Structure 1
Amino acid sequence: MQKIKTAAQTFIDAEVLMPSVRQKKSSMLQRFFLLTVVLCLISAFPYNAIAVNYFDGSRAKEGFYFLTYTYACYADETTDKNGKVANKDFGLFSAQEILRLCYYTPDFVATVVVPFGYTKISSLDQDSFGLGDLSIGAGYFLPVKQVDILPMLFVKFPTGRYDKEKTANIGSNQYDIAPMIFMHKTMGSFSIDAAVKYYFRLENNDTDVAPGDELRLEGLIGYNITEKFKSGPAVNWMKSRDRKQDGSRISGSAREKLSLGADCYYRFPWLSVTLTYLYDIHTENSPKGHFVQLKTVYRF
């Protein structure tokens, strides 16, 4: 925010004002700029920020599967629309425990996702804890032999705790409709997992703000170090449209994020475990930080 404050102060100093009036006007300008940044950041964390993992798009034996995702993300910096640092002390911390139940047939997949979490923004002295936004999804494997391709459709419901007077919220108070395509290919000791996701993000009725639709591309390469252990690099990219207020587009509010990291996977006789780490190397109108996730999969 230092660059924004300097620009505002330059404008104010150019006016011939009494000190008390100058201070009041500076405070109003700073609040306006802070509100603009915060509105972008509210949109930067849609529900259940689950990155693609090994075998997400692969066929599985028929039956029920129980998955858990334990993740934490921390971001001290926020960036403006040009990718430059806007705030070095934002202090965003978010942790979630996501419970997911899946049912597989040879071709059909159905799933329910229930998140619980905690979010804190230190610079605003705000936090939120509780149930997040529930989502359901279904998909069907395409009849292709060379590669597993799984188109799915997810719908997110605004079940999470939300307070329009706060910036730190577990829930988003708006629906998402998200078509996705997952792909998996094994080639000897190597594997490729990828996902294309598009989020139609609908309007928040309390604020009349639509966060802006998002396109997400996620990829992961794996190498079997042993029969049960594999690891490899990961890349995630997200690009959003501008936000809308009362149906009108807000120019310059689009978000972008490029993250690099790695996955490690280990298969036990009764479950599999995946550890994911991602670091944001470039962001626009978004927090910039670290993401760590531990995923487990149990088959009934």
Structure 2
Amino acid sequence: MLWWATLWSAVFQLEYGLLVCMIAAMNSIIPLIFRLALVSLLSLLLPVVALAVNFAAGAKAPAGHQFKLYPYFYSADTKTDKDGNPAIRELGLKKYGVQIFNSYQTGDLNLSAIIPISRVEVAKFDAVDSGIGDIQLRLGYYLPVEWATFLPVLMVKIPFGNYDKNALVNVSDGQSDLVAELYFFKLVQPLSFDAVIKYAKRFRNHDNDFTPGNEFSAEGLLTWRLAEKIRFGPAINFVVGGENRREGKSVADSGLMRLAAGGELYYARIDRMIISLAAYQDLLTRNSNSGILVMSRFAIDF
């Protein structure tokens, strides 16, 4: 019961956060001296919300345009150290928003772009930022394999959102990423299996001379058909990152690790629309926040 209470509470806060994100909220004004003292610390606190793999994420889409919305809510009260022990408690970190996903499928070629709109808050330090984040441009091509679906994707993250090196928090990372991804999908009724592996080469932020460590991630989702076009199943998400660099020098013991588990409920009984709801709980973290992620997906085919 506690898990479901947490889930529905988070969904309510997600809906509220999306409204706030759309109609309100630019940065709170914090005294300049306080900002400068905490900038370096908070640059390491913000979560990179990696929206988890969904059912049929790697399946071949129908030819034409597809529009998706990914509303999400992430909350964490603890940041762990290199040994996984709590380093900061009562953090009050919340990040919520929506990722706007547009894709076009022609033959085996898939072109897509993601525009994120979000708001991030760190209550412990009274820090807030909101707005458009960094845009992702993606190029994918389905491999000629018959027994399953394989989709390699090359993604470029472009630092589009505003970044202020003196601000305590930013919705933009202020740096670029180059990411290689491989999606896998297999359906053997009543079971399905989705997986994705990613490797991100992360580049230097020229404003603060900070380079996040490169990251490797792996995600998996197993679903069972409950009824026609309704599925449910468990999922797992694992991320490991190399050491960060500041002013060209490696920051000792700064590499992150995060293991999260959860599940997804999938519903596709509405014509030309897919809806899903997923929740993940961080189970094991190193140099990372420990919290809960709630996300949904609304996909429409044109």
Give the TM-score normalised by the residue count of structure 2: 0.85
In structure 2, C-alpha distance between the alignment counterparts of 1:96 and 1:237, rounded to whole Å: 22
- Quote the RMSD (CA, aligned, Å): 1.5
The runs of at least 4 consecutive aligned structure 1 residues that moved more than 3 Å come to: 34-39
SS of residue paired to 1:40: coil
Q: What's the CA shift string for 1:47-86, capped at 9, x where partnerless?
A: x622111111011211100000000100001100000011
1:105-254 alignment, distance < 5 Å: 105-254=106-255
Question: How far has the Cα of 1:37 moved from its partner?
Answer: 5.0
Aligned to 1:299: 301
Aligned to 1:280: 282
Decide whether the 8 Å contact of 2:39 with 2:165 is kept in 1: no
Q: What's the CA shift string for 1:30-57, capped at 9, x where partnerless?
A: x99x777534324x42xx6221111110
- With 104-113 and 184-193 compared, the bigger mean Cα shift is at 104-113
Q: What's the CA shift string for 1:158-190, capped at 9, x where partnerless?
A: 111221112321101000111100000001210
In structure 2, C-alpha distance between the alignment counterparts of 1:227 and 1:244, rounded to whole Å: 50
Question: How far has the Cα of 1:96 moved from its partner?
Answer: 1.4
In structure 1, C-alpha distance between the alignment counterparts of 2:216 and 2:204, rounded to whole Å: 17
Residues 160 and 35 of structure 1: is their aligned pair in 2 closer, same or farther, counting only changes over 3 Å?
closer
In structure 2, C-alpha distance between the alignment counterparts of 1:83 and 1:256, rounded to whole Å: 9
Aligned to 1:41: 45
In structure 2, C-alpha distance between the alignment counterparts of 1:251 and 1:277, rounded to whole Å: 33
Question: How far has the Cα of 1:93 moved from its partner?
Answer: 0.3
In structure 2, C-alpha distance between the alignment counterparts of 1:245 and 1:217, rounded to whole Å: 27
Residues 115 and 36 of structure 1: is their aligned pair in 2 closer, same or farther, counting only changes over 3 Å?
closer
Aligned to 2:99: 98
Give the TM-score normalised by the residue count of structure 1: 0.86
Q: What's the CA shift string for 1:117-169, capped at 9, x where partnerless?
A: 10000011110011111110011011100110000001011111221112321
Decide whether the 8 Å contact of 1:37 with 1:285 is kept in 2: no
1:251-262 alignment, distance < 5 Å: 251-262=252-263
Question: How far has the Cα of 1:104 moved from its partner?
Answer: 1.1
Equivalent AA in structure 2 for residue 271 of structure 1? M
Q: What's the CA shift string for 1:177-228, capped at 9, x where partnerless?
A: 1110000000121000000011111000011110111101000001110011
In structure 2, C-alpha distance between the alignment counterparts of 1:93 and 1:280, rounded to whole Å: 14
SS of residue paired to 2:204: coil
Percent of aligned positions with the same letter in both sequences? 31
In structure 2, C-alpha distance between the alignment counterparts of 1:152 and 1:125, rounded to whole Å: 38
Residues 36 and 162 of structure 1: is their aligned pair in 2 closer, same or farther, counting only changes over 3 Å?
closer
In structure 2, C-alpha distance between the alignment counterparts of 1:222 and 1:177, rounded to whole Å: 30
In structure 2, C-alpha distance between the alignment counterparts of 1:37 and 1:55, rounded to whole Å: 38
SS of residue paired to 2:124: helix
SS of residue paired to 2:227: coil
Decide whether the 8 Å contact of 1:278 with 1:292 is kept in 2: yes
In structure 2, C-alpha distance between the alignment counterparts of 1:35 and 1:173, rounded to whole Å: 14
Question: How far has the Cα of 1:281 moved from its partner?
Answer: 0.5
In structure 2, C-alpha distance between the alignment counterparts of 1:205 and 1:99, rounded to whole Å: 27
